[in-house]
């Protein structure tokens, strides 16, 4: 039985890049879907549930970083960022926002295909029956439905509490820096809200009712799961 074709969402506005890329991806057995704008990217990501997103940062209607941030709120789909040379800051920021890897343009086809294969292999090995839900002990976080349950009992979270929980749940057992949380949940406005993160975290911990599940790593950040 042939495995279903993996869909790759290619977010890029330059046809000189999308044409050869989608051709190469098709040749390798993937199903490429092209989005030329940020709006289209979010629409197609929701409609097609791609297995991987290739994301250019320079889009005609907005910043690829915004697309990345918004994608990360709804899905754990791996994202490979395509960036211009010498844009190291973008790369760091992209990785902080939850990109899985990056490639510097001009992209060499063989390198891109190798990275795509590696990411798809990695996620295929890691994925359970539902890649949009995360189970940590008896806590289940459904990222797509924005619901969380503890021991099958639904807990009522505010939008921000859920965003914080989701950002942590996407990296179960891993340390997430305070900076990264602020950046993902509040974006560029984080300078103003640093203290409110503590308030949300305190409330989230109470609601989870599982002491130790959400650990503070002093001087760094937080970790969900042991
Ligand atoms: Ca572009």
Q: How do beta strands 101-104 and 153-155 pair?
A: unpaired
Of 3-12, 25-34, 136-145, the least confident: 3-12
**59 Cα to the center of ligand 1, angstroms:** 5
**35 Cα to the center of ligand 1, angstroms:** 11
What CA–CA distance (Å, rounded) separates 17 from 6? 20
| 110-125 per-position pLDDT tens digit | 888 888 887 777 666 5
What CA–CA distance (Å, rounded) separates 27 from 32? 10
**160 Cα to the center of ligand 1, angstroms:** 31
Mean residue pLDDT of the chain comes to 84
| 21-30 per-position pLDDT tens digit | 999 999 988 9
pLDDT band at residue 153 using 50, 70 and 90 as cut-offs: very high
Q: How many CB atoms lie within 10 A of CB 101?
A: 16
Kindly tell me if the per-residue pLDDT of 166 is higher than 70. Answer: yes
CB 196 within 8 A of CB 190: no
Residue 183 confidence (pLDDT):
74
Q: How do beta strands 175-177 and 221-224 pair?
A: antiparallel
| 174-210 per-position pLDDT tens digit | 888 887 788 778 765 555 566 678 888 989 999 999 9
**12 Cα to the center of ligand 1, angstroms:** 5
Q: How far is CA 167 from CA 26, 57, 70, 181, in A?
A: 33, 21, 12, 7
Kindly tell me if the per-residue pLDDT of 128 is higher than 50. Answer: no
**22 Cα to the center of ligand 1, angstroms:** 15
**114 Cα to the center of ligand 1, angstroms:** 22
**85 Cα to the center of ligand 1, angstroms:** 13
Kindly tell me if the per-residue pLDDT of 135 is higher than 50. Answer: yes
| Beta bridge pairs of residue 87 | none
| 29-76 per-position pLDDT tens digit | 899 999 999 999 999 998 888 989 999 988 999 888 889 988 888 777
Q: Number of C-alpha atoms within 13 angstroms, CB side, residue 154?
A: 7
**217 Cα to the center of ligand 1, angstroms:** 38
Cα dihedral 127/131/136/140 (nearest 10): -150
Residue 86 confidence (pLDDT):
61
């Amino acid at each position: 039985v042939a495995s279903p074709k993996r869909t790759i969402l290619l977010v890029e506005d330059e046809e000189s890049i999308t044409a050869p890329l989608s051709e190469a991806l098709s040749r390798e057995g993937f199903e490429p879907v092209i989005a030329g704008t940020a709006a289209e990217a979010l629409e197609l990501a929701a409609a097609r549930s791609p297995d991987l997103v290739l994301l250019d940062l320079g889009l005609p209607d907005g910043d690829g970083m915004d697309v990345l941030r918004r994608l990360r709120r709804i899905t754990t789909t791996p994202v490979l960022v395509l960036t211009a040379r010498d844009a190291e800051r973008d790369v760091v920021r992209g990785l902080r926002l939850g990109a899985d890897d990056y490639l510097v343009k001009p992209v060499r086809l063989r390198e891109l295909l190798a990275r795509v294969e590696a990411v798809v292999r990695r996620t295929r090995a890691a994925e359970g029956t539902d890649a949009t839900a995360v189970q940590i002990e008896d806590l289940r976080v459904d990222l797509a439905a924005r619901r969380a349950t503890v021991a099958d009992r639904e807990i009522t979270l505010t939008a921000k509490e859920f965003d914080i929980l989701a950002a942590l749940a996407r990296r179960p057992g891993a340390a997430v820096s305070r900076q990264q949380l602020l950046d993902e949940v509040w974006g560029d406005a984080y300078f103003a809200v640093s203290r409110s993160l503590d308030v949300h975290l305190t409330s989230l911990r109470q609601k989870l009712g599982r002491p130790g599940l959400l650990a503070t790593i002093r001087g760094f950040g937080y970790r969900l799961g042991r």
